[in-house]
């Protein structure tokens, strides 16, 4: 179904912590300036046998025991998978039995060190638990949304969710592999008509929709907007430039940060360790499973404290695990001041604009299996991002830095955290002679990404103002340097640019001047590299010294089985790259001489 044919324009925020589905009903008012964005109230289990409807579908999957499955109190009539629980009850029950809880599937989806197609979650599940792969877990959230929508909204088959045009959001820092895996997860859930949209852009579209025609009163030509998105699993920075030509304003995404696995999950784990140290000082030691329970309970305590200013302390309970460790239930408490101090000093410490993330081992943050960054200071990551992209400012306006900031993500809901970031950035800008940052008010830090995704779909349908920018990274193939082998010295690798940063969706490039020789009947593998900070590289550029600016991502693979050609035959091929309309990257080897095309596939097996 095309953009102009589906009744509903659907935006899905597939978040690390929560999923949100928004929609615009085109049979109702859907003008760009007056269109109404609805939030789907997602039916989900909130307790055994009890279904509730909520804005948010927590991105948690609980895998119940055989005993819990009996009686049918954990199933719904339209539930597509009776052996899994998704949402609110999964989150609360999983905190009590963490070995049966799948969390942070989105973070695992972009973890290059594991096989993302293999059943590996939960990482510490008991032997009787049937584990899920990150792709299956991600698809499970989408399946739940689809089944719930089709049960409550779709009155006719053409209104089913899989029949609508869907805009699915992802972190701007997701590389080509993570984007491809997201599309595969959506496809396995039955969604074939999707378009990917970067979360910071979606948040900005939500702001545009909320401000309607008044947005031009807040920003103008020469403004550079920093979108600071801190969610449950990632910290995402983007820069959007406001341009002006012939009296018309334009928007362009000019920079995207690296993938920073740092967010609410890290904060919750740090709070858990803080509580654990307090218990240890009193003679109570927790084992590993109890620490997992404490991690989840710390998250819920943090959410309660930060959501209600009148609450100063929340009790935290950890079940005991026998007399050898803890005789009975362990009780402690988390205070609001404890939370604020740890978050502000541990994750948002004051720093200079010249400071950079420190690279040192943080074993406590590695125990849960994900490759969290070693430096938890979000402010130092932000300082690095702004310094690297300082050339994105409009020098003609005399502005050497961002002029406005838009916050997004559940971590930033407390005003104290947003104020802290503004206070830290302020002296950075003053020392450069820049004006004070204008804060652009998000319509809703939890719902904005989904809302913006729907509005983007409306913009595409009605021809409104779109953010330009193209692909956020430049991509490269690793090419071995032809030279005599030296014992103990690995072959030197050059980086060949095959996709330039900024390449627009729906466009293709080729390297006609470079020919590769591929052997028929044998698997072929290439190193695949990427960079967010080399916008000037062009297709065909060969970079010698790249270790500081280009990072390996994975390998590209293909196998050439061709009938009529003797195995072992070398045939000349050229590389073609396409940024698809949905936002993924497609790479192929093409033999014009033989009329053959071989698609290169990303290695997602770690």
- Give the domain extent around 555: 474-602
Report yes or no on 289 lying in a domain: yes
The residues, any chain, with a CB within 8 Å of residue 286's CB and separated by 6 or more, are 276, 279, 294, 318, 325, 326, 330
**Tens digit of pLDDT for each residue in 146-186?**
999 999 999 899 999 999 999 999 999 898 889 999 999 99
CA 35, 37, 39 angle in degrees (round to 5)? Answer: 165
Q: Angle, nearest 10°, between helix axes 288-307 and 264-281?
A: 110
Kindly report whether the peptide bond that precedes residue 122 is cis, defined as omega within 30 degrees of 0.
yes
Choose the final residue of a domain: 152, 175, 196: 196
Q: Which of 253-262, 382-391, 523-532 has the lowest mean pLDDT?
A: 523-532
Do 35 and 127 belong together in one domain?
yes
Tell me if 107 sits within 8 A of 262, measured CB to CB. Answer: no
Q: Which residue has the tokens 């009787």?
A: 128
Do 192 and 272 belong together in one domain?
no
List residues bridging with 475 in a β-sheet: 499, 530
Give the domain CATH number at 179: 3.30.420.40
**Tens digit of pLDDT for each residue in 35-83?**
899 999 999 999 999 999 999 999 999 999 999 988 888 988 887 666 8
pLDDT for the residue 28: 86
pLDDT-based confidence at residue 271 (cuts at 50, 70, 90)? very high
Give the domain CATH number at 313: 3.90.640.10
Closest-CA residue to 388 (of 359, 411, 356):
356
pLDDT-based confidence at residue 482 (cuts at 50, 70, 90)? low
**Tens digit of pLDDT for each residue in 282-315?**
999 998 888 888 998 998 899 889 888 889 999 9
Report yes or no on 210 lying in a domain: no
**Tens digit of pLDDT for each residue in 444-478?**
999 999 999 999 999 999 988 999 988 889 999 98
Choose the final residue of a domain: 336, 365, 394: 365
Do 311 and 191 belong together in one domain?
no
Do 178 and 268 belong together in one domain?
no
Closest-CA residue to 102 (of 77, 135, 73, 55):
135
Do 307 and 165 belong together in one domain?
no
**pLDDT for 366 beyond 50:** no
List residues bridging with 255 in a β-sheet: 239
**pLDDT for 508 beyond 90:** yes
pLDDT-based confidence at residue 360 (cuts at 50, 70, 90)? low
Q: How many domains does the chain have?
A: 3
Report yes or no on 243 lying in a domain: no
**pLDDT for 335 beyond 50:** yes
**Tens digit of pLDDT for each residue in 188-236?**
999 999 999 999 999 999 999 999 889 999 999 999 999 999 999 899 9
Q: What whole-number distance in Å separates Cα of residue 71 and Cα of residue 133?
A: 28
Helix (H, G, I), strand (E, B) or coil at 598: strand
pLDDT-based confidence at residue 101 (cuts at 50, 70, 90)? very high
Do 191 and 271 belong together in one domain?
no
Helix (H, G, I), strand (E, B) or coil at 561: coil
pLDDT for the residue 319: 83
Report yes or no on 189 lying in a domain: yes
Report yes or no on 41 lying in a domain: yes
pLDDT for the residue 513: 81
Do 33 and 146 belong together in one domain?
yes
pLDDT for the residue 332: 94
Choose the final residue of a domain: 317, 340, 365: 365
Report yes or no on 467 lying in a domain: no
The residues, any chain, with a CB within 8 Å of residue 204's CB and separated by 6 or more, are 225, 227, 240, 251, 406, 452, 467
The CA R_g of the chain, rounded to the nearest whole Å, is: 25
Report yes or no on 55 lying in a domain: yes
Q: What are the backbone angles phi and psi of residue 488, rounded to the nearest 5°?
A: 80, -5
Question: How many residues does this entry show for the chain?
Answer: 606
Helix (H, G, I), strand (E, B) or coil at 591: strand
Q: How far is CA 346 from CA 266, 268, 280, 333, 597, in A?
A: 10, 12, 21, 20, 52
- 142 vs 319, higher pLDDT: 142
Do 160 and 78 belong together in one domain?
yes
Do 355 and 491 belong together in one domain?
no
Do 190 and 77 belong together in one domain?
yes
Do 90 and 178 belong together in one domain?
yes
Report yes or no on 214 lying in a domain: no
> Judging by DSSP bridges, how do beta strands 165-170 and 194-198 pair with one another?
parallel
Do 64 and 167 belong together in one domain?
yes
């Amino acid at each position: 179904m095309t953009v102009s044919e589906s009744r509903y324009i659907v935006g899905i925020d597939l978040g690390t912590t929560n999923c949100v589905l928004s929609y615009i009903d085109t049979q109702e008012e859907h003008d760009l300036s007056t269109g109404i964005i609805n939030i789907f109230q997602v039916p989900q289990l909130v307790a055994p046998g009890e279904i509730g409807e909520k804005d948010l579908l927590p991105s948690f999957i609980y895998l119940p025991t055989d005993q819990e499955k009996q009686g049918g109190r954990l199933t719904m009539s339209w539930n597509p998978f009776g052996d899994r629980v998704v949402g609110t009850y999964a989150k609360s029950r999983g905190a009590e039995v963490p070995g049966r809880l799948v969390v942070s599937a989105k973070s695992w989806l972009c973890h290059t060190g594991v096989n993302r197609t293999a059943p590996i979650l939960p990482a510490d599940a008991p032997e009787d638990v049937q584990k899920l792969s990150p792709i299956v877990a991600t698809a499970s959230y989408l399946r739940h949304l689809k089944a719930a929508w089709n049960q409550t909204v779709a009155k006719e088959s053409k209104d089913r969710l899989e029949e609508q045009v869907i805009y699915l959001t992802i972190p701007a820092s997701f590389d080509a592999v993570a984007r491809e895996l997201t599309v595969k997860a959506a496809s396995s859930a039955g969604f074939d008509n999707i378009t990917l949209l970067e979360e910071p852009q979606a948040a900005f579209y939500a702001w545009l929709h909320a401000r309607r025609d008044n947005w031009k009163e807040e920003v103008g030509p020469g403004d550079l907007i920093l979108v600071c998105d801190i969610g449950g699993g990632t910290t995402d920075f983007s820069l959007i430039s406001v341009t002006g030509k012939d009296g018309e304003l334009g928007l362009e995404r000019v920079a995207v940060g690296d993938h920073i696995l740092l967010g609410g999950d890290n904060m919750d784990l740090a709070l858990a360790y803080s509580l654990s140290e307090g218990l240890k000082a009193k003679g109570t030691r927790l084992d590993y499973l109890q620490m997992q329970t404490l991690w989840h309970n710390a998250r819920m305590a943090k959410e309660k404290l930060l959501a209600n200013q009148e609450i100063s302390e929340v009790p935290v309970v950890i079940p005991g695990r026998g007399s050898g460790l803890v005789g009975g239930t362990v009780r402690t408490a988390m205070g609001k001041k404890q939370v604020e101090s740890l978050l502000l000093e541990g994750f948002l410490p004051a720093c200079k604009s010249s400071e950079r993330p420190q690279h040192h081992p943080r074993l406590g943050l590695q125990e849960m299996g994900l490759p969290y960054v070693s430096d938890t200071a979000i402010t130092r990551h932000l300082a690095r991002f702004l310094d690297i992209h300082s050339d994105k400012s409009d020098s003609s306006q005399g502005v050497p830095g961002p002029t406005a900031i838009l916050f997004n993500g559940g971590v930033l809901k407390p005003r104290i955290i947003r104020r802290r970031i503004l206070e830290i950035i302020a002296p950075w800008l003053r020392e450069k002679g820049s004006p004070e940052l204008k804060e652009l008010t998000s319509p809703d830090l939890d719902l904005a990404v989904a809302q913006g995704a729907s509005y983007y779909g409306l913009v595409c349908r009605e021809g409104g103002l779109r953010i330009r920018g193209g692909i956020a990274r430049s991509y490269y193939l690793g090419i071995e340097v032809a030279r005599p082998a030296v014992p103990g010295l690995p072959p030197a690798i050059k980086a060949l640019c095959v996709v330039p940063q900024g390449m627009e969706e729906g466009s293709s490039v080729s390297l006609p001047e470079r020919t590769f020789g591929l052997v028929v009947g044998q698997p072929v593998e290439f190193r695949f590299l990427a960079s967010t900070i080399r916008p000037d590289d062009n297709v065909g550029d060969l970079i010698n010294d790249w270790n500081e600016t280009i990072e390996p991502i994975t390998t590209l693979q293909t196998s050439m089985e061709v009938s009529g050609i003797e195995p072992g035959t070398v045939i000349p091929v050229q590389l073609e790259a396409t940024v698809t309309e949905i936002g993924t990257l497609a790479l192929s080897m093409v033999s014009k001489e033989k009329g053959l095309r071989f698609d290169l596939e990303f290695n997602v097996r770690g």
